[in-house]
């Protein structure tokens, strides 16, 4: 049994604000958002790194991300831009070893300097 926070969210053993779910992918609000509307897109299978996903699942993640992107643009968050961010490996800043894509709204002068 893998002790993984995101698997627990997928299995409803931990609460999360889920905004999308299909047979392969789930998306929920980040518990410590860098900006309002910070969302994580997560494959439902436990894989540590993005390159472990097959082509179909990788494209499903990015298709879901595209829908979320459009929803953010239409929402009253009034974001001025959107970052996609994926930390792949500890040296890249990965803290949860169940691969995931961050999507977060950006605002001019929001201080990230990215």
Min dist CB 28 to ligand 5GP, Å, is 5
Min dist CB 101 to Zn ion, Å, is 14
CA distance 8 to 12: 6
Asked if residue 28 binds ligand 5GP (CB under 6 A), the reply is yes
Alpha helices in 12-114 (DSSP H): 55-74
Specify whether the CB–CB gap between 20 and 26 falls below 8 A: yes
Other CB atoms within a 10 A radius of the CB of residue 12 amount to: 9
Binding pattern to ligand 5GP, positions 76-95, x when CB under 6 A? -----------x-----xxx
Residue closer to ligand 5GP (CB basis): 35 or 94: 94
CA distance 21 to 35: 22
Asked if residue 48 binds ligand 5GP (CB under 6 A), the reply is no
Task: Tell me how far apart the terminal alpha carbons of the chain are, to the nearest angstrom.
Answer: 37
Asked if residue 30 binds ligand 5GP (CB under 6 A), the reply is yes
**Interacting residue ranges for ligand 5GP, rule: CB under 6 A:** 5, 14, 16, 28-32, 87, 93-96
Which residues are tagged catalytic?
A: 100
């Amino acid at each position: 049994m893998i002790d993984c926070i995101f698997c627990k969210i997928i299995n409803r053993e931990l609460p999360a604000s889920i905004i999308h779910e299909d047979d392969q992918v789930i998306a929920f609000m980040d518990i410590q958002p860098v900006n309002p509307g910070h969302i994580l897109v997560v494959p439902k299978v436990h894989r540590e790194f993005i390159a472990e996903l097959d082509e179909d699942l990788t494209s499903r993640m990015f298709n879901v991300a595209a829908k979320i992107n459009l929803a953010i643009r239409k929402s009253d968050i009034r974001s001025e831009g959107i970052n996609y961010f994926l930390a792949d490996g500890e040296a890249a800043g990965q803290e949860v070893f169940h691969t995931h894509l961050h999507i977060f709204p950006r605002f001019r002068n929001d201080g990230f300097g990215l």
